[in-house]
Amino acid sequence: MAKKANKVEMTTEAKQAAAEKAMTPSKRISFQVSEAYKMIRTNLLFALSTSDKRTVVFSSAEPSAGKSTLSANLAIVMAQTGAHVVLVDADMRKPTQHRNFKLSRTMGLSKILSGQNKLDECICKEVKTNLDVIPAGTIPPNPSELLGSHRMDELIAELESRYDYVLVDMPPIGIVTDALVVAPKAAGLLLVARQKQTTYDELADTVDSISATSAPLLGVVLTDVQQEQMLGYGRYGKYGRYGKYGRYGKYGRYGGRYYRAYDYAYSADKEKQAEKESEND
């Protein structure tokens, strides 16, 4: 029994180590990776320069494309320019940003949108220099409705008045419509695709869905690109390259808990179970 417990602990540690490595900011990451983030930052700032809005929504066609990792790291490198940045974890189905920044998730977006708490009670201030984070909050039964509510409009307006940039991490468009609900309220949507995972069809369908809204598509970031594979992959426009960044491997892309969390149909039991599991994260 003790042996089994040890094994589980090691697996968790290994996962945490991989997640921490995937998070930039420090000297742990290679020069190429940090340059890739800076290049994406530059392109994003150009894209935003023609918009009055300051909010960017991150989404993808399918799960595990690298949205949360990208949005967290981009928030960090944008804050490094001296801009005041807030990262909002709006994936209230499978939240992860609290783990990336080692924060408590409980007070966060769902609490603000449901009127249970005030914005200032849910902002984690200065998690890095110039960077604040709003975690996802307790997992709600109705994320799409909360995101489509007037409180979300008010929240975006308030955050845009306080911050230079508002980055919003959202679930995949191919699974739920949350990102399409929020993107029209923002400057636009940054789509994340993953090499050897995202298919052309998935990406094309997702671009079609975005085109059907009033939200501009700001660009596509291709993640997990091996250096030697970079050439000849320009079909969707190279918006960012990740260099040798594939070594962290992929985690259970379509695994049990994952899909449960993104299930369209709401089930109180499933939600309770998912909530229980993720409260311990």
73 touching Mg ion, by CB under 5 A: no
The residue among 110 and 160 lying less far from ligand ATP, judged by its C-beta, is 110
In angstroms, rounded to a whole number, what is the distance separating the alpha carbons of residues 56 and 159? 12
In angstroms, rounded to a whole number, what is the distance separating the alpha carbons of residues 19 and 101? 11
Q: What is the DSSP letter of 278?
A: H
Three-state secondary structure string covering 170-182? CCCCCCCCHHHHH
Q: Which residue blocks in 60-118 are alpha helix, DSSP H?
A: 67-79, 97-100, 109-113
Residue by residue, DSSP assigns 203-236 as HHHHHHHHHTSS--EEEEEEES--GGG-TT--TT
Partner in contact with 99, chosen from ligand ATP, Mg ion, none, beta carbon below 5 to 8 Å by kind = none
83 touching ligand ATP, by CB under 6 A: no
Shortest reach from residue 80's CB to ligand ATP, in Å = 19
Instruction: Describe the crossing of helices 67-79 and 31-48 by its angle, rounded to 10 degrees.
Output: 80
Residue by residue, DSSP assigns 27-38 as TTS-HHHHHHHH
Strand-pair partners of 60: 192
Shortest reach from residue 60's CB to ligand ATP, in Å = 5
43 touching Mg ion, by CB under 5 A: no
The residue among 163 and 245 lying less far from ligand ATP, judged by its C-beta, is 245
133 touching ligand ATP, by CB under 6 A: no
Sole window of 64-72, 113-121, 160-168, 196-204 interacting with ligand ATP (rule: CB under 6 A) = 64-72
Query: How many residues of this chain bind Mg ion (CB under 5 A)?
Result: 3
In angstroms, rounded to a whole number, what is the distance separating the alpha carbons of residues 49 and 29? 29
Sole window of 12-20, 52-60, 64-72, 213-221 interacting with Mg ion (rule: CB under 5 A) = 64-72
The residue among 116 and 273 lying less far from ligand ATP, judged by its C-beta, is 273
The residue among 19 and 207 lying less far from ligand ATP, judged by its C-beta, is 19
Partner in contact with 148, chosen from Mg ion, ligand ATP, none, beta carbon below 5 to 8 Å by kind = none
Place of tokens 């967290």: 72
In angstroms, rounded to a whole number, what is the distance separating the alpha carbons of residues 58 and 190? 5
The residue among 68 and 198 lying less far from Mg ion, judged by its C-beta, is 68
Q: Count the neighbouring beta carbons within 10 Å of the beta carbon of residue 255.
A: 11
At 129, give phi and psi (nearest 5°).
-55, 125
Interface pattern 163-202 for ligand ATP (x via CB under 6 A): ---------x------------------------------
Among 43, 68, 223, 278, binds Mg ion (CB under 5 A): 68
Shortest reach from residue 116's CB to ligand ATP, in Å = 24
Residues binding Mg ion (CB under 5 A): 67-68, 96
